[in-house]
């Protein structure tokens, strides 16, 4: 059974139809990359999956149950789906450690000492053990994003959503974030990644979906989609980003 | 202008009386600001709510306070409140000043809350935090930090505005100055002295606010 399945997702912003019926199934342990031009709807679709945006139409099944925003406790759903944002969105008034332990303590109600243990382990994993007491303002973009990943992982999520995690970074810090993500892939984490990093997608994805004007135009394994795309739009897009 | 020797003599002689008045001024300002902070936060939430009715209530309150002189508000509340319920003039003055400052403080809070990046709400949501937790732990702490400079400014204004309580017979600083001035046929000397007390208190307050601001900046928390 799929960990998450989205059926016929539509999203309108007023008159503007951003998503025009997207279907996606994600198996546990799968890594899926969403690619496409700006405005194709990939970020909006990702944000619909944890209901940061309310889909106008369509059904999302998560862990075997359909999500109904009127009935389902969305906070509970979100707490088991980690999300990493393009602009990090760390809490600036909290130290790195406090950023990571906040939700485990307040949402999952685990003991502070236990949360700190988890946080320290995660900081080690993302290579920032020495920054636990720093405030986000003192970190580079790449360091901030790695803290954001640790913060999401601290909730022990079943699925991680990445919304262009390296788009706001200086080129020299992109690699550090991608390395942490590769590590997650090796750990078997289920991940949906919106990205412009085609070579990264090729290296980690089980499946790549190409979005165009609110629809998935083509999907397949990295080899299929990147090396022999069938759709003319996909070919055009890949030519423009790889060239 | 009174000569310096005379000014110093009166200053020293009147010091016990003025210090008592200064204490009352501080009590009056501090209590009314504390209540004003609560009122301010409450109305800030009303004006940020989605309900048009709640918004209108907040707008109405702020319009009344901003559109009428403080002295009129003090008189209306003093005579109105003491008519309805028995209360000391300290209580009435405190409530009037709190009512007045609350409106300005609510605008400060509203602006501060609105200035928090939308991504902060999304990050909190994505971690499974509910609205109450999000505001309590993420939004309000940041908004308070951002509001500190403006709040400090409002505190200074409130301290000086508390002098208007003299007109409902509170024996605070300004009242002492005018009473002593007319009793001794020496208005100017006492006015200069009372100005000095206000100036001193405002300078101390500014210094403290400045200290807090630098500390926050240094920690990188804002």
Measured between alpha carbons, how far is B202 from B159 in angstroms, rounded to an integer? 8
Q: How far apart are CA A162 and CA A13, in angstroms?
A: 22
Quick one: which H or E segment has residue A205? none
How close B151 gets to chain A, by Cα (Å)? 19
Closest listed residue to residue B155, CA positions, set B113, B81, B207: B207
Other C-beta atoms lying within 10 Å of the C-beta of residue B130: 16
Q: Yes or no: say if B160 and B198 are a contact pair by the CB < 8 Å rule.
A: yes
Q: Which two tokens mark A122?
A: 């995660």
Q: Share the mean pLDDT of chain A.
A: 94
Q: Is A17 exposed, middle or buried (0-12, 13-18, 19+ CB in 10 A)?
A: middle
User: Could you tell me if residue A29 is left (phi over 0), alpha (psi between -120 and 50 degrees) or otherwise beta?
Assistant: left
Is there a contact between B128 and A75 if contact means CB atoms under 8 Å apart? yes
- For residue A91, the chain B residues in CB contact (below 8 A) are 120, 123, 138, 142
Distance of CA A71 to the CA centre of its chain: 25
Tokens describing residue A74: 């969305």
In the block, tokens 């100055």 appear at B177
- B78 alpha-carbon distance from chain centroid: 18
Q: Which domains does chain A have, with CATH numbers?
A: 1-72+159-243 (3.40.50.300), 89-157 (no CATH)
Main-chain phi, psi angles of A197, to 5 degrees: -85, 90
| CA nearest to B138 within chain A | A91
Tell me if residue A7 falls in helix, strand or coil: strand
- What are the tens digits of pLDDT across the range A57-112? 999 999 989 999 888 999 999 999 999 999 999 999 999 999 999 999 999 999 99
What domain range is B66 assigned to? 4-219
In chain B, the number of structural domains is 1
| Confidence bin at B79 (pLDDT 50/70/90) | confident
Whole-prediction pTM value? 0.88
What is the rounded distance in angstroms from the CA atom of residue A222 to the CA atom of residue B1?
89
Question: What ipTM score was computed for the predicted complex, to two decimals?
Answer: 0.94
pLDDT tens-digit map of A187-242: 999 999 999 999 999 999 999 999 999 999 999 999 999 999 999 999 999 998 87
**Chain A with chain B: Cβ pairs closer than 8 A:** 72
Contact A82, B126 (CB under 8 A): yes
On whether any CB of chain A is under 8 Å from the CB of B217, the answer is no
Within the 126-145 window of chain A, which residues sit less than 8 Å (CB to CB) from chain B?
134-138
- Read off the DSSP letter of residue A130: G
Q: With H, G, I as helix, E, B as strand and everything else as coil, classify residue A170.
A: coil
pLDDT value, residue B2:
55
Residue B221: band (very low, low, confident or very high) from pLDDT cuts 50, 70, 90: low
Q: What is the pLDDT of residue B169?
A: 80
Query: Is residue A41 a contact partner of residue A11, using CB atoms and an 8 Å limit?
Result: yes
Least confident of A192-201, B105-114, B208-217: B208-217
Q: Which residue of B has its CA nearest to A51?
A: B126
Tokens of B161: 């505005």
pLDDT for the residue numbered A1: 79
A109 touches chain B (CB under 8 A): no
% of chain A at pLDDT higher than 70: 100
State how beta strands A159-163 and A191-194 pair. Answer: parallel
Whole-number pLDDT of residue B99: 95
Check residue B167 and give its pLDDT: 86
The residue that leads in pLDDT, B54 or B171, is B54
Provide the CATH number for the domain around residue B214: 1.10.3720.10
Question: In angstroms, how far is CA A66 from the centroid of its own chain?
Answer: 20
User: Is B190:B184 a contact under the CB 8 Å cutoff?
Assistant: yes
């Amino acid at each position: 059974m799929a960990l998450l399945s989205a059926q016929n997702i539509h999203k309108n912003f007023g008159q503007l139809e951003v998503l025009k019926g997207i279907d996606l199934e994600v198996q546990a342990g799968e890594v899926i990359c969403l690619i496409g031009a700006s405005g194709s709807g990939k970020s909006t679709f990702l944000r619909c999956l944890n209901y940061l945006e309310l889909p106008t139409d369509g059904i999302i099944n998560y862990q075997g149950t359909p999500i109904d925003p009127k009935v389902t406790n969305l906070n509970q759903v979100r707490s088991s789906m980690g999300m990493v944002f393009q602009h990090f969105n760390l809490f600036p008034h909290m130290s790195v450690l406090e950023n990571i332990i906040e939700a485990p303590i307040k949402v999952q109600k685990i003991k502070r000492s236990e949360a700190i243990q988890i946080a320290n382990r995660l900081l080690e994993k993302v290579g920032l053990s020495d920054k636990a007491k720093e405030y986000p303002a003192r970190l580079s973009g790449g360091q901030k994003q790695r803290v954001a990943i640790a913060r999401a992982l601290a909730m022990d999520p079943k699925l991680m959503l990445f919304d262009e995690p390296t788009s706001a970074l200086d080129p020299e810090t992109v690699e550090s974030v991608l390395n942490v993500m590769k590590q997650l892939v090796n750990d078997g984490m289920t991940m949906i990644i919106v990205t412009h990093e085609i070579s990264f997608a090729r290296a980690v994805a089980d499946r790549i979906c190409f979005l165009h004007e609110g629809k998935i135009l083509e999907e397949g394994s990295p080899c299929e989609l990147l090396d022999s795309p069938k759709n003319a739009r996909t070919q055009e897009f890949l030519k423009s980003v790889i060239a | 202008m009174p000569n310096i020797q005379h000014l110093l003599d009166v200053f020293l002689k009147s010091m016990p009386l003025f210090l008592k008045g200064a204490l009352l001024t501080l009590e009056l300002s501090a209590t009314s600001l504390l209540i004003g902070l609560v009122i301010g936060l409450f109305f800030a939430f009303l004006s940020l709510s989605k309900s048009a009715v709640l918004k209108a209530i907040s707008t109405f309150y702020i319009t009344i306070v901003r559109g009428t002189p403080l002295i009129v508000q003090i008189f209306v509340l003093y005579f109105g409140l003491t008519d309805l319920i028995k209360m000391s003039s300290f209580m009435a003055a405190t409530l009037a000043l709190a009512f007045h400052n609350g409106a300005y403080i609510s605008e400060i809070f509203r602006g501060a809350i609105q200035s928090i990046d939308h991504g902060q709400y999304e990050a909190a949501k994505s971690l499974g935090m509910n609205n109450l937790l999000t505001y309590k732990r993420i939004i309000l702490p940041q908004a308070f930090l951002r509001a500190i400079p403006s709040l400090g400014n409002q505190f200074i204004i409130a301290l000086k505005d508390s002098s208007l309580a003299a007109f409902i017979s509170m024996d605070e600083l300004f009242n002492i100055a005018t009473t002593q001035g007319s009793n001794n046929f020496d208005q100017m000397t006492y006015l200069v002295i009372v100005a000095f007390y206000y100036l001193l208190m405002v300078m101390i307050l500014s210094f403290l606010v400045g200290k807090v601001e630098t500390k926050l900046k240094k920690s990188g928390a804002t």
